[in-house]
Structure 1
Amino acid sequence: MKKLTILFSLLFISFGINAQESLVKNVAFTNIGPTVMSGRVVDIDVNPEKTTEFYVGYASGGVWYTNNNGASFAPIMDSAETINVGDIAVDWKNGTIWVGTGESNSSRSSYAGIGVLKSTDKGKTWTNTGLKDSQHIGRIIINKNNPNEVVVGVVGHLYTPNKERGIYKTSDGGKTWNNTLFINENTGVIDVSVSPTDSNVLFAATWERDRKAWNFTGDGEGSAIYKSENAGSTWVKISTKKSGFPVGDGVGRIGLATFDNNVVYALLDNQNMRPAKKKKSQVGLKKDDFKHFSKNEFLKLDKKDLNEYLKENRFPKKYSAKNVKELVEKGKIEPIDLAKYLEDANYILLNSEVIGAEVYKSEDGGKTWKKTHKDYLDDVYSSYGYYFGIMAVNTSNQNKIYIGGVPLLKSDDGGKTFSSMWRENVHADHQALWINPNLEGHVINGNDGGVNITYDDGENWYKNNSPAVGQFYAINVDNKKTYNVYGGLQDNGVWYGPSTYKASKNWNSTGEYPYKSLGGGDGMQVQIDSRDNNVVYSGSQFGYYFRTNTETGDYLSIHPTHELGDSPYRYNWQAPILLSPHNQDILYIGANKLLRSMDQGENFDVISEDLTTGGKKGNVPYGTLTTISESPFKFGFIYVGSDDGFVNVTENGGNSWTRISDNLPQGLWVSRVIASKFEENRVYVTLNGYRNDDFKTYVYVSEDKGKTWKSIVSNISDSPVNVIKEDAENENVLYVGTDNALYVSLNRGESWEQFSKNLPPVAVHDVVIQNEAKDLVVGTHGRSIYKANISGIQQFEKTKGKDVVIFNVKSMRHSSRWGKSWSKWMPLNEPEISIPYFVNASGNYTVEILAEDGTKLNGFKVEASKGYNYFVYDVSTSEKVVKNYFTKKKIKVEKAQTEKYYLPKGKYTVKIGEATSAFELK
């Protein structure tokens, strides 16, 4: 079996995609932001000798460097195989950077890594030093006395058990690793903290967790604290029953902060339940009352009290005390249904009365622990502490500690009392902290909204969000002449802005950031009414959408609920919506059933049965629809896919459905189903196995409405697929986005080209085409939004059988300011025209610029590679041509400040080989 695996790997290397041979390697992407809302930070590493110099690690956006206190940043990890980051550690004396890849948070969008990367040249090049099956890394500690000695805390696989977990140590700079602490295949290490006074003393927090698509358990007996007194070579468990630190099944994620060899703090996510509260005298009806009422008891309820309950809990207006009692009396519903109506698939997770965040302190090196506070730390973790767990202590003051959850809190008395550090300009959900021990109040904080810095201990903060690291789930575009791009982001809501966006600080003087917010939460899918681009459908997680008029501010809340007595709808985290291409009044939304509104979201009808496997017991909605596509050929011809692997189709508006996924791989997430716009019977499907730790690529096409399927993966490198898109004009052109790349096929999936110029190895979650501009717009989960002009790609058929093809050269408005400047302190205005062309063989070519009568005005020797190429022409000619051609024609052409002569207004021709294309200077 091992020989077969090796053989497969060799074949994969031989036939995989080589980016340097891609026909589209010169088709460039441009980042169009946004930046202001940023993305999730996972770690910050600051130069202790120069605190204005530091590195920031973003969960899925790579590592960025600043040496001016965050005024600007530069990405340093884009040349690596991945930009998914769990932790960073810097040997500042020698300039060595270590990155543990794969985010340690166990979120829905926590991407896996490829081990430990090391750079000795400040990020120009990277070496993979091992631990390639770790997938998610919690912490890296460099021994300050021996930089070749490094300890790594490995969290391990997110969705499946694995052995490469625990503590790994290298003593030779990463050449070899020893597993010095291993608990079991479900327990990894989430945090490691070293004593600032003794590099031999380390504390490690192990974490037992189990994530499935339908359930998350973030606690267990494996969660504990360990100690090493020999720089991580051996470990002893110190959180025992006798120690005073909680033990058992309810112990969740633990964060650590060490002051010295004796004083150490721990921030615990305690998932044990709180003691039942003493019942206070009750006023009015409560949800749980209906779980115990008999039919007769219910019918005796006071109508006024019952109506008040229905109103307070926002039941639809159609439900009143009178008709609800009638339904109970007739046996159509039971009293308990009035409680279940309020309990959707998230209820258990979000409403469990767990103890939550607790802070413990040891003053004897971890032998004994005491909780620092008497009361509950409410509203820090709630029931989802798995997403948090950072804390810090000021190493100059053992009583000054900080903890991060939804808010950021500080304590001046060793954790007895806490106060909030929230102020304007600071995002929630805190993930990274650096405390300056030499300057009281200087704190750098990383959160789900980027980087914040304070110098007065949180009284005032400023934001350092110049990197474009937005984590988009979905994007869309409108059809305005200068079109807008819309998108939903992880924990940053929905935003929209101009496709012409360029990164600039000018908005600080105008007060107008180009992108505008449309809502909060975790931003999800967006649909724009093609008849009126001001009407936008957008929303947040689990199917909570709005219809918003961006001009008037009017909005309608959209979240269809089940009929009283039925089972609650199950909405996916990224519940899909779709405006019908046949009628923009018709809105579809997917739960576990498909719902349709004929009146812009005012009212909904159920047009299907449950189109999933029926869900599974757990605390995460599962058995939900994930994708909807309606054929442009016929109204009511609809495909849907689910998170549990089903693809269903109806051709009669939902009157009947057929499952068409039985011959596809089973049990995978259907990330996209697309009804072709070119052939009525054609449909594309992509499947994603990430939530099974399955990183293979699944892309299929059917030419008979799903009766039979053909894999069109071809030479795409293994990676889970998020999206497939047909080109708007050329049926042979397809685009596929995976968890680390974008690909284009020019022959309908027979082979694929890597599409990556200026695009880092980031997860591509969504792509959309703006038809008029001929732009491909790409939504990434970690590096915001990119666009590329694809007009040449759409004309690929023109290149067949020809040595050279020149595509349309855009005309340009002539300016008398070319080659000039408003002052000597301003840059010169230099024009450029991009000339797109395709060659069928790599080699040297001559680009000629001709006048309308064929006279040669300029010529250039260029080296072109097979495929698409671009020549940037500065619209210049020579002094000799001016004298011998334009002067004789009595056309005045003067030398500019750039020492160049620019062509006057007129019509011109570009010639490469035998190919020509005209353009005009107007």
Structure 2
Amino acid sequence: MLSRFPVCFAVVIGVVLSVTAVHGQITFTGSMLGPLRARSIGPAIMSGRISDIAVVDTAPRRFYVGAAGGGVWRTTNAGVTFTSVFDELPQSIGAITIDQKRPDTVWVGTGETWTRNSVSVGEGIFRSTDAGRTWQKSGLDSSERISRIVIHPRDAKIIYAAVPGPLFHDSQHRGLYRSIDFGTTWSKILSGDERTGCSDVVIDPKNPKILVASMWTFRRTPYSFSSGGPGSGIFRSTDGGNTWSRIRKGLPEGDVGRIALAMSPLDPKLLFASVEAKESAMYRSIDGGLSWERRYVGSVVDIRPFYFSRLVCDPKDKNVVYKCGIQMYRSDDAGLTFTIIAATAHSDHHSVWIDPANTEHIILGTDGGVYESFERGKTVRFMSNLPVSQFYHVTVDNATPFNVYGGLQDNGSWRGPSDAPGGITNGHWKFVGGGDGFHVAPERADANVVYWESQGGNLNRTSLTSGETKNIAPTPDDGSLKLRYNWNTPIVRGAQPGVIYVGSQYLHRSTNRGDTWTRISPDLTTNDSAKLAQEASGGLTLDNSSAENHCTIYTITESPIDQKVVWVGTDDGNLQRTTDGGTTWKNFSGSFPLLPKGTWVSSVDPSPHDAATCFVTFDGHMNGDMHPYVFRTHDNGQTWTPIITKDIVGYAHIIRQDPVMARILYLGTESGLWISLDAGASWASFRNNLPAVAVRNLAIQSRDNALAIATHGRGIYIIDNLEVLRQTDPLAITEELTVLTTEPAVRSQGGGAGRWFGGDADYAGESLSQSAQVWYILKERHMRGPFTISISDSSGKLIRSFPGSTRKGLNSVELAMRMPAPLTAESEIGGAFGSAIGPLLAEGVYTVELNKAGLKKSTTVLVVTDTVYKHSAEDRTAQQKLVAKLYRLNEELAITVAQVKAGLDSLMPTRWDSPITDSLNKLHKSLVNSKVGLVTGEEQLRERLSSLFGEVNSYLGKPTSSQEALASTLELRVEEATRTAGEILKHYSFETRAQIEARLRKARSKK
């Protein structure tokens, strides 16, 4: 199959390639690359981590879902469909609250508060007063994480926000905040120290002066996590938050950690708290939080309290309380015992809503998406239409269409196609391996053999043919040496088949698909013993999941020019290189201007154009440094130059140099994708259909000129037409009008619909466009005179002419690969199904001419048939000729029927019983079916012609002899009908055929 270059006869409004000369360099400003867009291919089959859910209590079909890294989604039909309503805003969500008295008012606190190692960051609190259609930033910019938002039950202008605060550094911006002016200003009313913030708060709906809040001391570093401290605890206010008292009665002595709170809506004096402590437990208060009693001790509350800290009371039964955890738990005896519910849902629950009108109805948010139950969790249904998966990496193969491979936080390793007829459905995605997924890559010699790993170096090789999986992780021969693997262990293929690399603190190489390994380096990390105490990580609750593993290799790249050159980056700041296949190594740490020591090496990209050039990104966010760091060397690492600009937002994850055009760079940060067309001198944020989401990895499919984008919260996106970027050189924009070279356009039937009737909830990612695009650049905005675009076929016949986009910069014209459906004779029973779809454009060369007030430029588009179809050129030509003939006959008949109908409409009022009226009626009945019946209805000329057109149009090879013969017969009948109509109406002054044709075409264009 030929690679298809997305190209319809319509103008796509363009970009501003506004360039400013600064010291001889070109700096891009303004909106860039507008018509160039990314398409989302999903997946949604595994969804992703949900941090919060908010439901309109009186209209539970309306609810909002907050994703850990995928923004806010709204449904108005109980999850049948979801709409993303937060694309331009921070995608990491901590809390969502609806004003239940004014449900169009929605508050969103950004910054996930389930504080695992991979969480993103927020930028404050946002408010919508029109059900999520528009948003206004409402302060708390430095909060980084917001865990709960509470609205005063009597005064909607009073809002409380629980702010745990930053995860990776000290901050004074922690605590419980209050606004009394609808979020315009905020005051901190409950403070902790620089490591202690507010994790939860509840308000008495009957006496809103009473609030109960929990404070939490916590901190994460790249190599440890600590939960708990003397600042943690439960606090109570009786004056609306002006003053607070710490509550100790009945609670554990000593330090406590994260505490979840819940207040019964039936009795505000009844509260529950899950309290992290040396012995974590569930507590109950029956006096409004003044004193507490321990109710339960066990796994429901003592497993990962930092990650599972949500309690919800049943709105109709005071004894029922729900607890989020690895499973969803419910207590029916006021917290004494717990039962697992929703057992078939994904593990790791973070949010639960109980319908106040029907407590059998609950909605759950998990690490694997949203579930709903109408039986209190006995059974659940999964909403498999939320594409909020969190990819760490992406790899592509050379299949047609190419596949993408990647691993997801919480949701394993997967493979899916980059294109599919009718959309890329959940069924197109194939599960490769479990656990938390990271690197996934097919073997170069056999794409049915896939390498993948789950957390902490669990490296596997799977045959997709047999389903067998073999663990191939390197281990010391005698077991005496402990290998340190990063949570996100790198697996990298070499250029040669069978060669793979994996990193612990050493670099390991296999030449036989992982069956045996050779250690080809010394310890390439700092091996800092102060950072190797993971067994004690967690604080009050030990938590050693490998997420804190440190002094490990994080990134590996073999040079595309010299396979003996391998670059290795570590999570403790070392950048190492070998030029002799691992015999010797050089450490470049300390060589990077203004880079803090020990900053994580997040990616290395040796140039495919120049052996002496390499690019590297560093990520310091886990040390509290949110700045992006990107460097380049042109002299084998002797010197390194920063190529970051002040425009770039978000810490840097990945950089890739374009394999064709050396000046083009792609950069993924925590806030999105950035593109440079001038080797890093300037950068543009790419946001066309790509939200402000973390971009963790990038892969370029060279054959198809496509960029695959792994986002940590919105799945995979693809930019299909990198050739446009390669031809867009701001230094070369010297002419008023520049038309770019266009790749061949591929005509294809698309393999059928590709989907059955799955209903509106059936998710599908966006397929590759079946059009061709012609791109042009205007040096300046066109202001005077006409600017037209004309398109002609290979015979020179004008197909269409229309105004072009006059915007400065990059613009495009789309050439649809299908013509409009033919005009079809009208009938009382409706449309003729066979002619409902237009034919593909005929093969050949099409000319596109742009006329800018007399300045003419043109280009050609070669339309070819997809090589998947094995028909000869002669057979394809025969099909195209017959389709064109039947297309013409359908339209001629449509005009004739309209002519007859116009005659009848004019004559019927006064001459309904005349011979001419009788003749017209008989002719009309012979041409179109007038009897209702999709199957048993009569077939007249229109129906037979439409059916034949559909048959021939659906097959790109040679028509059958029967089809050819029937077409000739029907042609005679159409000619006879046209002649008969003309004879009957020749003495009357009705519309001419030309007028009727113009009227019909105008009506079609409006559909």
Shorter-normalised TM range? 0.7 to 0.9
User: Equivalent of 1:378, from 299, 304, 310?
Assistant: 299
2: CA distance, partners of 1:876 / 1:385: 57
Residues 698 and 521 from structure 1, CA distance in 2 versus in 1: closer, same or farther, beyond 3 angstroms?
Answer: same
1: CA distance, partners of 2:45 / 2:192: 42
2: CA distance, partners of 1:161 / 1:868: 45
1:693 deviates by 2.0
Q: Quick check: 1:149–1:169 contact (8 Å CA) kept in 2?
A: yes
Q: Quick check: 2:421–2:751 contact (8 Å CA) kept in 1?
A: no
1: CA distance, partners of 2:500 / 2:424: 39
**Partner residue of 2:31?**
21
**Partner residue of 1:247?**
253
- For residues 314-334 of structure 1, the C-alpha deviation after alignment (integer angstroms, 9 at most, x for no partner) is xxxxxxxxxxxxxxxxxxxxx
2: CA distance, partners of 1:762 / 1:878: 38
**Partner residue of 1:648?**
576
**Paired AA for residue 524 in structure 1:** F
**Partner residue of 2:607?**
676
- Report 1:87-98 matches (<5 A): 87-94=95-102, 95-98=104-107
1:464 deviates by 1.3
Are positions 1:367 and 2:287 aligned together? no
1:169 deviates by 0.2
1:445 deviates by 0.8
Bigger shift: residues 210-219 or 85-94: 85-94
User: Equivalent of 1:543, from 457, 469, 477?
Assistant: 457
User: Equivalent of 1:575, from 450, 472, 489?
Assistant: 489
1:125 deviates by 2.5
Are positions 1:863 and 2:810 aligned together? no
2: CA distance, partners of 1:895 / 1:50: 40
Bigger shift: residues 835-844 or 708-717: 835-844
Rg larger for:
2
Are positions 1:610 and 2:518 aligned together? no
2: CA distance, partners of 1:19 / 1:483: 34
Residues 920 and 244 from structure 1, CA distance in 2 versus in 1: closer, same or farther, beyond 3 angstroms?
Answer: same
Are positions 1:111 and 2:116 aligned together? no
Q: Quick check: 2:203–2:212 contact (8 Å CA) kept in 1?
A: yes
Are positions 1:219 and 2:228 aligned together? yes
Are positions 1:415 and 2:335 aligned together? yes
**Partner residue of 2:886?**
none
2: CA distance, partners of 1:895 / 1:541: 54
2: CA distance, partners of 1:907 / 1:895: 30
1: CA distance, partners of 2:459 / 2:66: 32
**Paired AA for residue 73 in structure 1:** F
**Partner residue of 2:911?**
none
1:451 deviates by 0.6
**Paired AA for residue 482 in structure 1:** P
- Report 1:146-161 matches (<5 A): 146-161=155-170
Residues 140 and 504 from structure 1, CA distance in 2 versus in 1: closer, same or farther, beyond 3 angstroms?
Answer: farther
Give the TM-score taking structure 2 as reference length.
0.74
User: Equivalent of 1:199, from 208, 231, 248?
Assistant: 208
1:452 deviates by 0.7
Q: Quick check: 1:810–1:833 contact (8 Å CA) kept in 2?
A: no
Bigger shift: residues 84-93 or 843-852: 843-852
Structure possessing the higher relative contact order (Cα contacts under 8 Å, 6 or more residues apart) = 2
**Paired AA for residue 834 in structure 1:** A
Q: 3-state DSSP class of the match of 1:474? A: coil
**Partner residue of 2:715?**
784
1:420 deviates by 0.8
Are positions 1:482 and 2:405 aligned together? no
1: CA distance, partners of 2:520 / 2:750: 63
1:230 deviates by 3.0
- For residues 329-351 of structure 1, the C-alpha deviation after alignment (integer angstroms, 9 at most, x for no partner) is xxxxxxxxxxxxxxxxxxxxxxx
1:554 deviates by 2.4
1: CA distance, partners of 2:801 / 2:238: 72
Residues 860 and 258 from structure 1, CA distance in 2 versus in 1: closer, same or farther, beyond 3 angstroms?
Answer: same
Q: Quick check: 1:726–1:733 contact (8 Å CA) kept in 2?
A: yes
Q: How many residues align?
A: 789
**Partner residue of 2:745?**
811
- Report 1:291-310 matches (<5 A): none
Q: 3-state DSSP class of the match of 2:644? A: coil
2: CA distance, partners of 1:138 / 1:673: 35
Q: Quick check: 1:255–1:390 contact (8 Å CA) kept in 2?
A: yes
1:807 deviates by 3.0
Bigger shift: residues 440-449 or 839-848: 839-848
Give the TM-score taking structure 1 as reference length.
0.81
**Partner residue of 2:514?**
601
1:40 deviates by 1.0
Unaligned runs of 5+ in 2: 1-21, 535-547, 753-768, 822-831, 851-855, 866-1007
Residues 42 and 633 from structure 1, CA distance in 2 versus in 1: closer, same or farther, beyond 3 angstroms?
Answer: same
- For residues 775-833 of structure 1, the C-alpha deviation after alignment (integer angstroms, 9 at most, x for no partner) is 11101001011001112223335965442123325434388999xxxxxxxxxxxx973
Q: 3-state DSSP class of the match of 1:847? A: strand
**Paired AA for residue 482 in structure 2:** P
User: Equivalent of 2:237, from 222, 228, 232?
Assistant: 228
1:497 deviates by 1.0
- For residues 372-404 of structure 1, the C-alpha deviation after alignment (integer angstroms, 9 at most, x for no partner) is 13xx4237643x321111111102211101111
Q: Quick check: 2:396–2:403 contact (8 Å CA) kept in 1?
A: yes
Residues 122 and 268 from structure 1, CA distance in 2 versus in 1: closer, same or farther, beyond 3 angstroms?
Answer: same
Bigger shift: residues 687-696 or 207-216: 687-696
- For residues 51-96 of structure 1, the C-alpha deviation after alignment (integer angstroms, 9 at most, x for no partner) is 121111111111111111111111111133x121110111243311
1:702 deviates by 0.5
Are positions 1:659 and 2:667 aligned together? no
2: CA distance, partners of 1:657 / 1:636: 12
2: CA distance, partners of 1:175 / 1:878: 53
- Report 1:324-723 matches (<5 A): 355-356=279-280, 358-373=281-296, 376-378=297-299, 381-382=302-303, 384-424=304-344, 426-500=345-419, 513-562=427-476, 564=478, 566-581=480-495, 583-615=496-528, 616-619=531-534, 620-664=548-592, 665=595, 666-723=597-654
**Paired AA for residue 400 in structure 2:** K
Q: 3-state DSSP class of the match of 1:472? A: coil
2: CA distance, partners of 1:764 / 1:655: 34
Q: Quick check: 2:28–2:682 contact (8 Å CA) kept in 1?
A: no
- Report 1:815-894 matches (<5 A): 833-844=771-782, 845-874=787-816
2: CA distance, partners of 1:559 / 1:659: 26
Q: Quick check: 2:57–2:356 contact (8 Å CA) kept in 1?
A: no
1: CA distance, partners of 2:576 / 2:818: 59
- For residues 723-777 of structure 1, the C-alpha deviation after alignment (integer angstroms, 9 at most, x for no partner) is 0011122111110000011011112111112222000000000110111221111
1:263 deviates by 0.7
1:202 deviates by 2.1
Q: Quick check: 1:17–1:753 contact (8 Å CA) kept in 2?
A: no
2: CA distance, partners of 1:520 / 1:439: 36
1:18 deviates by 7.8
1:504 deviates by 6.6
1:136 deviates by 0.8
**Partner residue of 2:111?**
102
1:563 deviates by 5.2
Q: 3-state DSSP class of the match of 2:320? A: strand
Q: Quick check: 1:895–1:901 contact (8 Å CA) kept in 2?
A: no
2: CA distance, partners of 1:643 / 1:32: 31
1:168 deviates by 0.5
Q: Quick check: 1:697–1:716 contact (8 Å CA) kept in 2?
A: no
**Paired AA for residue 737 in structure 1:** G
2: CA distance, partners of 1:677 / 1:93: 60
Q: Quick check: 2:164–2:196 contact (8 Å CA) kept in 1?
A: yes
**Partner residue of 1:918?**
861
Q: 3-state DSSP class of the match of 2:318? A: strand
1:189 deviates by 0.8
Q: Quick check: 1:832–1:873 contact (8 Å CA) kept in 2?
A: no
1: CA distance, partners of 2:74 / 2:239: 33
1:834 deviates by 3.3
Bigger shift: residues 430-439 or 855-864: 855-864
Q: 3-state DSSP class of the match of 1:200? A: coil
Q: Quick check: 1:35–1:466 contact (8 Å CA) kept in 2?
A: yes
2: CA distance, partners of 1:111 / 1:815: 43
